[in-house]
Structure 1
């Protein structure tokens, strides 16, 4: 590129000089006609530098002098053109002004012949991987791959102290305990469809009060099948294992130990999108079973009259106003069928319910996400002596992330339940739970929580208020090991005599996860 620029510049300079010298050349031709001996006017050094012309190329009638063949020689004495002195650095390459590094073409010696190949250059280092915007949690479990499904099993073994293992009123004898807990997370990695779930089971063993030892657990497994671009089939299954406290109003006699309760069921539905309109139809079946209780006298209290099956059908229509805001309306009908038509007090407890509610899912600046719904339910019983149970129902689940290190979770629910207390149609249960988690370090998280619940027994004037407050601490040593500690204060205030209790529970354990 530099050689080409140099050639263009030199050509331009020569053309400018020729244009300036053309009048002198024309005058020289005129003088040649008048004075043939023009050679004497040419400087000696110019005449010596001119080559001898070929006679064959000259015109016999109008011969051209030899000096004319060099037009620059005729204008050596012109003050406005090229100087008659030799340049000071004629032996050096001429560099055009303003073009740094551009010189005349240099003659270079021929390159030597290549007889051998040059040594290979060292391999270039691999390009650096671009760091993702969201860094992976260095303490999260990696899981176990089973095809395209990832399993994340975990176990936690803890020891602690409970001041009131049986949750009874009055003075109680505390006891140390050991708790064994196992978890299993399930997550699919499929191009279409999705499978996810979480299963948890635990057992608490009390050293000084064996009757208070009890299991607990819960789990859910969801499968989404993408039938078409706008159609999805939803399959769900769930279960919960719990125990009854001896002072429960539904146990009308003093019992020993903690009777078990089983809740399990499933649902199937289909969701279809029509532009921004989303329609969901869902059917469900849920089952509740109660274990017989053992009385202090040694007899057995049957709870078979509380076993029931619930069938439900729900239709929801939601419209996406914005990508983060989807309000919906929902209608549901259900029926509860008891295994025994008449309970131990002579009431027919089977019922039919109708529920209508409105709500919305939302996402505000990716800081606040959740779903809130509120509605009204009317439940009619087969026994005419039990009046309809009516009331407000709703659900709320809100997640707020004010800072990258702090997370606030709010959950609330209001629902109508069943009871076997004579003369009562059912219960109205409301509960709210608040958790605030803050990461002191990437592997150290402290969580404070509080829970408040109220259960009202319709037609009996019976009310129970439950309050719990506590804190949890988790210190992750590696991806595999973590230390957990917690403290919880529980209190129950009831209008029923001899039902209030207070309990303090502290425990610490080691978690092993894969």
Structure 2
């Protein structure tokens, strides 16, 4: 049963939805002709929702949603269902300068569980990014972000018996240089990320130590591309990384610091705005300081494809094979293979239907554990007017694991109202 506080939240959402659809003027948003190259139908509407302040564009948005989940802790035997109310405001300030760029963001999300109050959370993020075109062949960009996030109970690296989500802070920054020499385009990126996880309160009042996950990741990416003709280019990319943990050794007596590299080669396509793709394959290696942890290496893959089949239908595809971090006992890392696809179709100018699916296989290197994850989903979005839309969706995910206790199935139903002030 929904508590009084959540009933009030629902009443407020309904009132805001009604107010948005009735009071905000709808200036023929449903009668405009789509761009022949299938620009997003709301591009112009988004522009109308922007507040201009001198040489800056201010874009405030607000999202409120209700979710029902039948397995909030991703458990196989002890499923618990709950209703989650979320509110997510966002504010973006973007410059309109000629040769320079500046962007400020402030994001937030608060989640409230109807029954499991201990899982309520408050996330937030602030960031600044900018760049400058030094000349026609040289540009520099950079960004800094500070965020507080959470991980729901039931995750691989969350201590067994945790009674609340794990909070962590993330500090990240990067600087990128783009340079054109003749027909060759170069791009170099230096990025750094710091993660700091709070400890967990466990059943019985004891404390679960998450400091073993605290780390700093440094990454250098160098990419060169050469055009082969209209809308096509071949590229080569090299990436180096260093992952340094704060606590050495960790509670298991292991030194988890590592260094790695990835080599990619591939092609990009941009065919008259109908098909755009970035497809690359190569080799990856992650070498760990502790000899107990085995070296991870193998084929690396990255693919992104968007195909605007017609003015009304879009297909997208994503694939990835990479090495992820984990502190699961005995595992040096996770070699993750992911494949995702989606179909987006406009039933009407104001009504959009989407189907999506995905498959993921995670190999916990150094152990016998392999997880297989299936994802399915469907959604329907109704544009109330230029400033508001309503989204109803269903999502299903299922995990099968070689280790007992890690299987689960979860169904989620979501209703989201998005406002663009």
TM-score of the superposition, structure 1-length normalised? 0.69
- TM-fit CA distance, 1:322: 1.7
The equivalent position to 1:409 in structure 2, one of 316, 338, 348, is 316
Q: Distance in 1 between matches of 2:145 and 2:227?
A: 29
DSSP-derived class of the 1:154 partner: strand
The equivalent position to 2:88 in structure 1, one of 160, 166, 181, is 181
Taking a change above 3 Å as real, the CA distance of residues 465 and 408 of structure 1, as seen in their structure-2 partners, is same
The equivalent position to 1:144 in structure 2, one of 51, 54, 67, is 51
Equivalent pair of 1:265/1:286 in contact (CA under 8 Å): yes
Equivalent pair of 1:400/1:408 in contact (CA under 8 Å): yes
- TM-fit CA distance, 1:301: 0.7
Equivalent pair of 1:391/1:416 in contact (CA under 8 Å): no
1:454 match: 361
Structure 2: gaps of 5 or more residues: 1-32
1:279 match: 186
2:392 match: 485
Equivalent pair of 1:305/1:343 in contact (CA under 8 Å): yes
The equivalent position to 1:227 in structure 2, one of 131, 134, 138, is 134
Of residues 381-390 and 188-197 in structure 1, the stretch that sits farther from structure 2 once superposed is 188-197
Of residues 260-269 and 340-349 in structure 1, the stretch that sits farther from structure 2 once superposed is 260-269
Give CA-to-partner distance per residue, 1:398-430, whole Å, 9 cap, x none. 111001111112222222122223332211122
2:252 match: 345
User: What is the aligned-residue RMSD (CA, Å)?
Assistant: 2.5
DSSP-derived class of the 1:211 partner: helix
Q: Distance in 1 between matches of 2:388 and 2:261?
A: 49
- TM-fit CA distance, 1:481: 2.3
Give CA-to-partner distance per residue, 1:123-172, whole Å, 9 cap, x none. xxxxxxxx997798564342111222212221122223221122222142
Does the alignment pair 1:270 with 2:174?
no
- TM-fit CA distance, 1:310: 1.4
Give CA-to-partner distance per residue, 1:234-291, whole Å, 9 cap, x none. 2134566554343434345321122124444111121110121112222111122222
Q: Distance in 1 between matches of 2:315 and 2:128?
A: 25
1:474 match: 381
Of residues 487-496 and 194-203 in structure 1, the stretch that sits farther from structure 2 once superposed is 194-203
**Structure whose residues are more often strand by fraction:** 2
2:204 match: 297
Q: Distance in 2 between matches of 1:403 and 1:132?
A: 11
- TM-fit CA distance, 1:296: 1.0
Q: Distance in 2 between matches of 1:165 and 1:387?
A: 34
1:68 match: none
Of residues 425-434 and 193-202 in structure 1, the stretch that sits farther from structure 2 once superposed is 193-202
The equivalent position to 1:443 in structure 2, one of 347, 350, 354, is 350
Q: Distance in 1 between matches of 2:372 and 2:125?
A: 24
Q: Distance in 2 between matches of 1:200 and 1:433?
A: 26
Taking a change above 3 Å as real, the CA distance of residues 511 and 234 of structure 1, as seen in their structure-2 partners, is same
1:418 match: 325
1:390 match: 297
Does the alignment pair 1:359 with 2:266?
yes
Equivalent pair of 2:234/2:268 in contact (CA under 8 Å): yes
Equivalent pair of 1:435/1:450 in contact (CA under 8 Å): yes
Equivalent pair of 1:224/1:233 in contact (CA under 8 Å): yes
Q: Distance in 2 between matches of 1:273 and 1:170?
A: 58
Structure 1: gaps of 5 or more residues: 1-130
Q: Distance in 2 between matches of 1:281 and 1:468?
A: 34
- TM-fit CA distance, 1:220: 7.0
Indicate the structure (1 or 2) with the bigger Cα radius of gyration: 1
Of residues 184-193 and 457-466 in structure 1, the stretch that sits farther from structure 2 once superposed is 184-193
Structure scoring higher RCO (CA < 8 A, sep ≥ 6) equals 2
Does the alignment pair 1:503 with 2:405?
no
1:370 match: 277
Matches within 5 A, 1:65-104: none
Equivalent pair of 1:240/1:263 in contact (CA under 8 Å): yes
Q: Distance in 2 between matches of 1:227 and 1:325?
A: 26
1:190 match: 97
- TM-fit CA distance, 1:432: 2.2
How many aligned residue pairs are there?
384
